[in-house]
Amino acid sequence: MENNSKRKRSRAKGLAIAAIGGLGVSLAGAIATAGPASADPIKVDANFNCTYPLIGAQPTPITIETDIPKSIPVGQQTPPIHIKATAHLSATVTNGLRAVKATKLEGTATSDEIVSVPEDPNLPVSIDVTMTPIDVPAAGQGFDLVTEGDAPTLTFSKAGPGKISLTGLSQHIDPKKADGTSVWAGGKDVACTMPDGPKVLTEFQITAIDVAVSGAVGDVAARARHGRRIDVGGVQL
């Protein structure tokens, strides 16, 4: 009977060690692979003055939409971040395009940002976006020009607060005539300034990996290996 009892305790202890070891692996895996928490969509309005061919500087309000995590673990790449920017163009821009016989507008743009994080408070980042080709409306009507692209992935090495600020924008427009040819061969560059200064897009937290849980699991496993009693769910092994 005594031998049977010892064998049962030995098997129970072995199972406990295996279970605790498995728990440690699971927790360690969770700590190592846990991704940043999902974030609420971000929608920010920014004011620009953009200088177009023929018509000169024009107020160009732009709405930026994206989804940037509010929490990013140290040492992990940021997930793919899609950017959508919608420029709200006035009837003056439409009339200028119509004046040069443009019936469609396409092109590209580059937005400039500063990423402020503990390891570098002034990290410059540029994001290239592509304009969705759009038909130029009738004279006297404004229209929305949509551009979309993806931000580069980043990895941070220090925990602490982070911030992304929009600091500039440049466009390269290529208006097309009805026959598909460009109004200007190669298109035209459009420089933009921010009269209100840089615009904060979002703030986030870079988080350190917490290893306290894995340490506690290791302590419990050590107790089991050295024959000390373990209380699991009120049952001592």
Find the CATH number of the domain harbouring 198.
Answer: 2.60.40.2270
The reply to whether 17 and 68 lie within a common domain is: no
Are 224 and 13 a contacting pair, CB within 8 Å? Answer: yes
Tell me: do 49 and 153 sit in the same domain. Answer: yes
10 & 102 share domain: no
Inter-residue contact 151 to 76 (CB < 8 Å) = no
Average pLDDT across the chain, whole number: 82
**Pairing verdict, β 120-131 and 81-89:** unpaired
* Tally of residues, the chain: 237
- Residue 79 has a pLDDT of 86
More confident residue, 6 or 209: 209
Residue 34: band (very low, low, confident or very high) from pLDDT cuts 50, 70, 90: very low
The more confident residue out of 2 and 57 is: 57
Q: What is the pLDDT of residue 224?
A: 44
CA–CA separation, 14 and 225 (whole Å): 9
Cα 235 from Cα 15, distance rounded (Å): 13
Q: Specify the DSSP element, H or E, that contains 18.
A: helix 2-33
Verify that 132 and 178 share a domain, yes or no. Answer: yes
pLDDT at 38: 57
Check residue 232 and give its pLDDT.
43
Check whether residue 154 and residue 172 sit in a common domain: yes
Q: Do both 225 and 203 map to the same domain?
A: no
The pairs formed by 130-138 with CB atoms below 8 angstroms and a separation of 24 or more are 131/105, 131/106, 131/107, 131/173, 132/106, 133/104, 133/105, 133/106, 134/104, 134/105, 134/106, 135/103, 135/104, 136/94, 136/97, 136/98, 136/102, 136/103, 136/104, 136/105, 136/175, 137/94, 138/94
Mean pLDDT confidence for 29-40: 47
* pTM listed for this prediction: 0.73
Domain that holds residue 10: 2-33+211-236
Higher pLDDT, residue 229 or 159: 159
Judge contact between 101 and 179, C-beta under 8 A.
no
Which residues share a beta bridge with 48? Answer: 60
**CA 188, CA 67: separation in Å to the nearest integer?**
31
Q: For 148-200, write each residue's pLDDT tens digit.
A: 999 988 999 999 999 999 999 999 999 999 999 999 999 999 999 999 999 99
Average pLDDT over residues 128-151: 97
pLDDT score for 168: 96
Q: Which residues pair with 75 in a beta bridge?
A: none
Question: Is the separation of the CB atoms in 145 and 105 below 8 Å?
Answer: yes
- Band the pLDDT of 210: cuts 50, 70, 90: low
Same domain, 64 and 167: yes
8 A C-beta contact, residue 70 and residue 39: yes
**Looking at the predicted structure, is the pLDDT value of residue 220 above 50?**
no
Give the E-state strand segments of 6-157 in sequence order: 42-52, 56-66, 71-73, 81-89, 104-117, 120-131, 134-135, 143-151
- What is the per-residue pLDDT for 32? 39
11 and 49 share one domain: no
Mean local confidence (pLDDT), 123-142: 97
* Claim to verify: residue 216 and residue 108 sit in the same structural domain: no
Query: CA–CA separation, 159 vs 206, rounded Å?
Result: 5
pLDDT at 119 over 50: yes
Most confident region among 38-42, 140-144, 210-214 by mean pLDDT: 140-144
% of the chain surpassing 70 pLDDT: 71
Residues 22 and 106 in one domain: no
Q: What pLDDT is attached to residue 80? A: 85
d(CA 33, CA 163): 24
**pLDDT for the residue numbered 3:** 52
| Total number of domains constituting the chain | 2
